[in-house]
Amino acid sequence: PRPVRLADYRPPAYLINRIELDFCLDPQRTIVASRLSVQKAPGTPAGAPLVLDGEKIELLSVALDGAPLPKDRYALDEKSLTLFDPPESFALAIRTACAPAANTALSGLYISNDMFCTQCEAEGFRRITYFLDRPDVLAKYAVRIEADQARYPVLLSNGNSVESGMLPEGRHFVRWEDPHPKPSYLFALVGGDLAAVEDSFITRSGRKVALKIFVQPQNADKCAYTLDCLKRAMRWDEETFGREYDLDIFMIVAVDHFNFGAMENKGLNIFNSAYVLASPETATDTDYEAIESIVAHEYFHNWSGNRVTCRDWFQLCLKEGFTVFRDQEFSADMRSRAVQRIKDVRRLWSQQFPEDAGPLAHPPRPETYITIDNFYTATVYEKGAEIVRMVKTLLRHEKFRSACDLYFERHDGEAATVEDFVRAMEDGGGIDLRQFRRWYSDAGTPRVSVREHIAPSGAYALELAQKTDPTPGQSEKPPRHIPIAYALYGAESGRRLAEGVLEFKEETGHFDLGKFDERPIASLLTGFSAPVRLERSLSLDDRLFLAARDDDLFNRWAATEALWRDLCLAFAGAKEMESREAALSRFEEALFAAMGEADRDPALAAELLRCPSEADLARNVEIIEPTAIVRGRTYVREAVGAALKDRLLALYERLRPNRPFQPTAEQAGERALKNAALALLVAAGETSLALEQAKSANNMTDEAAATATLATSSGPERREALDRFYARWKADALVVNKWLAWNAMRPEPDGAQGDSSLDHVRRLTGHEAFDRRNPNKARSLLGVFARENLAGFHRLDGAGYRFFVDEILSIDALNPQLAARLIAALDNWRRLEPHRRAQAERELRRLANAKGISPNLYEMAARLLA
């Protein structure tokens, strides 16, 4: 396949300002009639060919200005329909057929549980009809949908419904018109037997907007929270960014088969049902939190993505990075800001940092791709959001808001670029971001090393040095503009002595921070002010000081997390640590003290008690020795659990009473703390507590937490807990996905006794609960196994890799996007110890050479092996 390059971008040769679409829905053969108003773009030579994108559709007819087009006036191939010598301005009528029921790729028009739905981002619209399927062609859409009335009573598309009626033979139709010009990736259509849960919202200018959530009828009682999130997001965007909704109706539809979390189609968001449906019995606090942030994310796209869209797919982080930043800020305002920041950074560290350090590293604004679907990555989303956050830090709050206003006003109704965004930030904020632009163009995470100087006079200075390792295709890494927020504390008094933001722009920098009477202890990168790796050697005393006393709660957590990590790695033999046993007992005391915070901020206390996962630890070593990491982590958790047992038990008992469940941040924090205490108690052998909780819980958060801890323990209760859970929930597919994920995390048996986790997972691929066609299920079982089960997946004999690659090949034949995303789990293969590394490489090469694999998977395999 030929790569697409940013440098080759050319504006479209033709514009399409209006499209009328007529769908005759049938699962086997849907007929799509389209009428396009086409105009030659200024600057295009007369008679230049018009090349329309189209894929996996059958062309039935094509007519120009009402007359069938002779065969010699057009050419057709697998990917396009080319018209030769078209006039300057004309109407083009095209009829095509597609097969939604056979569309297992879930891109274009497909069927999920007898419901028609579409997914057009990034390039799915071309699987529906021939079109200029690129984000810089904005057209007004008028859509007519016709279907069997009894089977598909609800027919939806973007905008406002303008007409509906019955037709002969039990069929009916609905017409929709969207007044806002939009790119084809924002088109959506839904047809099915759906229940609507309704509400309304009055905008700040007094317009009434109808809100409707469409779900399968049996799920109608699980939408209240989603509706509440939507209303809060709408109000927040008015208050925080001055953005008002712009149609009379906003719809969300839940589907079970979906390649992603959700999709921001104009006025008709389509969601993975996992991010819509929630009830206390079936959804955990984490599920509620995810729903809140995804509902907000998709809604915020209405401005950052839809009103101002992207010129081309290289600009993806323009809409995604900015929108993630907006949803993170929303969640921070709805919940604890500090805990939100901790969770966001945890995600960045676990997903984006490894991506940036491995073979899949790419800039937030890539310069080349084979399949754009492979670039919906943590770098585009999460690092994209960090870049916007740094801009805000550099501009300060008020100027950032006015710069955002300027951006939206300047580019409303346009397809913009990252450059347009940065220019609006510069013009609105009155600063120079020339060097800062490197964050968009350069891949890799800068490493910032720190040396401290204290002069006999008490003058304190920091020496900083930055370095970014080469990444694929980029060997030179000039220095970046890095905002480093800091605070200094007096080692004796604990008082805050100074604080500020350093703008670090050179390879090395010297910063005088003042003269002090007592030794300062520096808290650096407060609030994680830049996505860099800080390299600093601090004494255990100073680390414990920051873990206990830093006013910046993010850094207080970061100091604690780093101690957890270093101790696990020290006991795994993967890191040097002086007197590790003594360090462990001092850490236990510090955690004991941190639990004193439990009353003030239980959610924060829960984060402090959480030991990094096996996968987190593996990311922090140069050579991965899976079994040693599992051993080190088990030892430390067991030791901490045992040392703090009485305190943990007291805490657990205090938080145990089952209050009537409310999905509030406050209650969620208390449950998180109780369950963090439970996890450590189970690590120390108190398994019966967990089984009791699993049986008596009145909500899914507590039931899931208890079952999950048992599922990842080696105790005899594991089997009982998992069997019980499945028997209770087997009719609820979303709940069963949790069960699949816990099974994928099953520890390896001690000694030669029992099934290996690989055998267990392999057996589950034939279980009634598993289905390769459903991305949620594939991710829960196979994705979790490969990413989270260190010892089970990375077996010495390479059988884990063999199994995984076989599964990926089967999935690729059904759904290339899903297969390509799953294989990214192997992005750490070069860091495995030599024996495992050789096995993983052999399997990746087998994958890359397999006959008939999709371009999506081929691109990923080639990048992983490059």
Residues labelled catalytic: 298
| Measured distance CA(144)–CA(55) in Å, rounded | 22
The nearest distance, CB 231 to ligand HT7, in angstroms, is: 19
* By the rule CB under 6 A, 263 interacts with ligand HT7: yes
Paired strand residues for 64: 67, 92
Residue nearer to ligand HT7 on the CB measure, 260 or 571: 260
Task: Return the residue of 38, 92, 98, 122 that touches ligand HT7, per CB under 6 A.
Answer: 122
| Measured distance CA(526)–CA(345) in Å, rounded | 12
The nearest distance, CB 321 to ligand HT7, in angstroms, is: 10
Answer yes or no: are the C-beta atoms of 318 and 416 closer than 8 Å.
yes
Q: Is 197 helix (H, G, I), strand (E, B) or coil?
A: strand
* By the rule CB under 6 A, 320 interacts with ligand HT7: yes
Residue nearer to ligand HT7 on the CB measure, 483 or 783: 783
Residue nearer to Zn ion on the CB measure, 316 or 424: 316
* By the rule CB under 6 A, 307 interacts with ligand HT7: no
The nearest distance, CB 799 to ligand HT7, in angstroms, is: 31
Which residue in 243, 304, 21, 27 sits closest to 139, CA to CA?
21
Closest residue to ligand HT7, based on beta-carbon distance: 260
Q: Which two tokens stand for residue 107?
A: 């891109």
Q: Which of the stretches 116-124, 126-134, 200-208, 314-322 binds Zn ion when contact is defined by CB under 5 A?
A: 314-322
Residue nearer to ligand HT7 on the CB measure, 122 or 147: 122
What is the sign, positive or negative, of the torsion defined by CA atoms of 729, 732, 734, 737?
A: positive
Answer yes or no: are the C-beta atoms of 364 and 849 closer than 8 Å.
no
Within 363-463, residue ranges assigned H as helices are 378, 384-395, 397-411, 418-429, 438-441
The nearest distance, CB 229 to Zn ion, in angstroms, is: 16
Q: Which of the stretches 256-264, 360-368, 595-603, 769-777 binds ligand HT7 when contact is defined by CB under 6 A?
A: 256-264
> If contact means CB under 5 to 8 A according to the sort of partner, which of Zn ion, ligand HT7, none does residue 550 touch?
none
Angle between helices 316-334 and 337-347 (to 10 degrees): 140
Interaction residues for ligand HT7, span 748-777 (CB under 6 A): none
| Measured distance CA(94)–CA(126) in Å, rounded | 13
> If contact means CB under 5 to 8 A according to the sort of partner, which of Zn ion, ligand HT7, none does residue 373 touch?
ligand HT7
The nearest distance, CB 315 to ligand HT7, in angstroms, is: 13
Q: Phi and psi of 99, rounded to 5°?
A: -125, 85
Which residue in 546, 575, 564 sits closest to 607, CA to CA?
564
* By the rule CB under 6 A, 376 interacts with ligand HT7: yes
* By the rule CB under 6 A, 416 interacts with ligand HT7: no
> If contact means CB under 5 to 8 A according to the sort of partner, which of ligand HT7, Zn ion, none does residue 365 touch?
none
The nearest distance, CB 305 to Zn ion, in angstroms, is: 7
* By the rule CB under 6 A, 817 interacts with ligand HT7: yes
Q: Which two tokens stand for residue 139?
A: 């057209």
Residue nearer to Zn ion on the CB measure, 323 or 351: 323
Task: Return the residue of 237, 298, 625, 812 that touches ligand HT7, per CB under 6 A.
Answer: 298
The nearest distance, CB 377 to ligand HT7, in angstroms, is: 11
| Measured distance CA(851)–CA(848) in Å, rounded | 9
Q: Which of the stretches 126-134, 320-328, 398-406, 834-842 binds Zn ion when contact is defined by CB under 5 A?
A: 320-328
Q: Which of the stretches 254-262, 360-368, 402-410, 840-848 binds ligand HT7 when contact is defined by CB under 6 A?
A: 254-262
Paired strand residues for 144: 22, 175
Residue nearer to Zn ion on the CB measure, 318 or 805: 318
| Measured distance CA(267)–CA(211) in Å, rounded | 10
The nearest distance, CB 702 to ligand HT7, in angstroms, is: 31
Per-position DSSP letters for 784-845, written without gaps between them: HHHHH-HHHHS-TTSHHHHHHHHHHHHHHHH-HHHHHHHHGGGGGGGGB-HHHHHHHHHHHH
Q: Which of the stretches 258-266, 340-348, 618-626, 798-806 binds ligand HT7 when contact is defined by CB under 6 A?
A: 258-266
* By the rule CB under 6 A, 264 interacts with ligand HT7: yes
The nearest distance, CB 271 to Zn ion, in angstroms, is: 12
| Measured distance CA(276)–CA(221) in Å, rounded | 11
Q: Phi and psi of 732, rounded to 5°?
A: -110, 105
Question: What is the 8-class DSSP label of residue 101?
Answer: G
Interaction residues for Zn ion, span 321-340 (CB under 5 A): 323
What HEC string does 565-618 produce? HHHHHHHCCCCCCCCHHHHHHHHHHHHHHHHHHHHCCHHHHHHHHCCCCHHHHH
Residue nearer to ligand HT7 on the CB measure, 320 or 625: 320
* By the rule CB under 6 A, 306 interacts with ligand HT7: no
* By the rule CB under 6 A, 386 interacts with ligand HT7: no
Residue nearer to ligand HT7 on the CB measure, 21 or 296: 296
Q: How many CB atoms lie within 10 A of CB 689?
A: 18
Answer yes or no: are the C-beta atoms of 864 and 844 closer than 8 Å.
yes
Q: Which of the stretches 224-232, 294-302, 548-556, 788-796 binds ligand HT7 when contact is defined by CB under 6 A?
A: 294-302
Contact residues for ligand HT7, defined by CB under 6 A:
119, 121-122, 259-260, 262-264, 297-298, 301, 320, 373, 376, 817
Residues engaged in binding Zn ion (CB under 5 A): 320, 323
